Amino acid sequence: MNVTAKKFLALVFLSFAGATNAAESSTKTYFDLSYGQLTYKESGLSSLSPSIISGTFGSYVYDGLAFEGFLATGVSDDSVTYSGVPLTLKVDSAVGFYVKPYLRVSEGTEVYAKVGYFRGRLTVSAPRGLSDSTTGSDVSYGVGLSTRVGGSVSVFAEYMSYYDKSDTTIRGLNLGVKIPF
């Protein structure tokens, strides 16, 4: 485990430890459903734009901090031609866990940041049934804005950097709805 990963895990642990007592009396949970348009870039290839749908379970542990876990799957793929061969990229699945500090800027509106862990599985397909799947993980982060639109339901937009390693990046803009329960 490298030094950056150790520091990140220590930060997450300290956040959990400090929030435990406050969470006992003020925890509120929520579920969100979002559509994400991703940008996949790899050196030597044109950018690809597959899309995902994701569900997130979150918990406000105290004012100013939430923890989230999400699952995603691909809903559309994208294609590119490389050396005359058509290639198609599809997101098979993804999972992530995040620490989410937020700031309420007005009644019902929050700006937030997220930092955590992302793991995704992608499949690249070529003609004649050729395909290859790969799995990768990385520290992930992003920023967003959430605003209440009626009752307790909110809509949100967020920009995420999911993966950035070895000349490959995956970033995305997510739009969704958040429902507390």
CA distances from residue 19 to 101, 120, 131, 163 in whole angstroms, order as listed: 12, 29, 45, 28
The region, left, alpha or beta by phi > 0 then psi within -120 to 50, assigned to residue 115 is beta
- DSSP helix/strand/coil, 27: coil
Return the structure tokens found at 155: 């809509």
Flag whether pLDDT at 179 surpasses 90: yes
- Region 24-32: mean pLDDT is 72
Helix, strand, coil shares of the chain, percent, nearest 5, are 15, 75, 15
Domain 29-180 sits in CATH at 2.40.160.20
Residues 39-86 pLDDT 10s = 999 998 899 999 999 999 999 998 999 999 999 999 999 999 999 999
Residues 172 and 143 sit within 8 Å (Cβ to Cβ): no
Name the helix (H) or strand (E) containing 4. Answer: helix 3-26
Flag whether pLDDT at 95 surpasses 60: yes
Of 40, 128, 109, the closest CA to residue 80 belongs to: 40
Chain centroid offset of residue 52 CA: 10
Return the structure tokens found at 44: 């030597």
DSSP one-letter string for 35-95: EEEEEEEETTS--B--EEEEEEEEEEEETTEEEEEEEEEEEE-EEEEETTEEEEEEEEEEE
- Region 150-161: mean pLDDT is 96
- Residue 150 — very low, low, confident or very high, per pLDDT cuts 50/70/90? confident
Burial classification of residue 21, based on how many CB atoms lie within 10 Å of its CB (0-12 exposed, 13-18 middle, 19 or more buried)? exposed
Domain ranges of the chain: 29-180
- Region 27-44: mean pLDDT is 94
- Residue 6 — very low, low, confident or very high, per pLDDT cuts 50/70/90? low
Of 53, 41, 132, the closest CA to residue 80 belongs to: 41
- Mean pLDDT (the chain, rounded): 89
